[in-house]
């Protein structure tokens, strides 16, 4: 019985230890400390970047710890959710930038090849990456009007009717 109690205590302690360390580990992944280029170890710009990353790491560690203590939110799952939201936001920005480059730049749009290379996509991927709602978002954000040659937005099918 005594060995079982010690084993349970060790398991509980290890669980607590892994939770305590997971906060700083996740923060270290989210905010890596930059490494200097040779000869730039004492450069003010590098030192500021290093200090900023250290501050962000400490702040994130504390935020993750508070989320765990106050809301029982797992720090790794929370970080993954945040990374997914950032990825979705970046994908939306890419779609809008592609729409801008193809639909708003005058007198001629950027080439599909140039946009594909910059976005890390294929030419056909750029051609189909954005939709009318992305063009509308760019128009709303910039106040600019898109070029006139765009194909019209496909009309939604009336509800209840099946296309022939």
- 3 within some domain: yes
Domain count, the chain: 2
What pLDDT does residue 44 have? 84
Q: Are residues 101 and 67 in the same domain?
A: no
What pLDDT does residue 11 have? 43
Lookup result for tokens 């730049």: 105
- 25 within some domain: yes
pTM: 0.70
Q: Are residues 94 and 142 in the same domain?
A: yes
* Residue 127: Cβ-neighbour burial (10 angstroms; 0-12, 13-18, 19+): middle
Report the distance separating Cα 24 and Cα 60, nearest Å: 8
Name the residue range of residue 40's domain. Answer: 1-73
Q: Distance from first CA to last CA of the chain, Å, rounded?
A: 74
pLDDT in tens, 49-67: 999 999 999 999 999 999 9
pLDDT in tens, 85-107: 999 999 999 999 999 999 999 89
CA distances in angstroms from 91 to 16, 66, 78, 95, 96, listed in the order given: 37, 30, 20, 6, 9
The two three-digit tokens of residue 159, written as one number:
């509800």
Query: How much of the chain exceeds pLDDT 70, in percent?
Result: 78
Q: What is the chain's length?
A: 164
CA distances in angstroms from 46 to 29, 30, 32, 41, 56, listed in the order given: 19, 18, 13, 7, 15
Average pLDDT, the chain: 85
Q: Are residues 3 and 63 in the same domain?
A: yes
């Amino acid at each position: 019985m005594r060995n079982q109690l010690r084993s349970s205590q060790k398991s509980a302690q290890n669980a607590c230890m892994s939770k305590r360390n997971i906060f700083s580990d996740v923060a270290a992944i989210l905010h890596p400390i930059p490494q200097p280029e040779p000869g730039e170890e004492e450069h003010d710009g590098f030192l500021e970047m290093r200090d900023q990353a250290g501050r962000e790491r400490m702040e994130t560690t504390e935020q993750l710890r508070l989320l765990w203590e106050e809301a029982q939110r797992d720090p790794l799952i929370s970080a993954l959710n945040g990374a997914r939201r950032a990825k979705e936001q970046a994908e939306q920005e890419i779609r809008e930038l592609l729409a801008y480059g193809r639909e708003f730049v005058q007198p001629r749009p950027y080439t599909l090849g140039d946009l594909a290379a910059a976005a890390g996509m294929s030419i056909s991927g750029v051609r189909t990456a954005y939709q009318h709602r992305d063009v509308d978002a760019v128009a709303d954000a910039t106040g600019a009007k898109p070029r006139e040659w765009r194909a019209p937005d496909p009309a939604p099918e009336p509800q209840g009717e099946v296309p022939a």
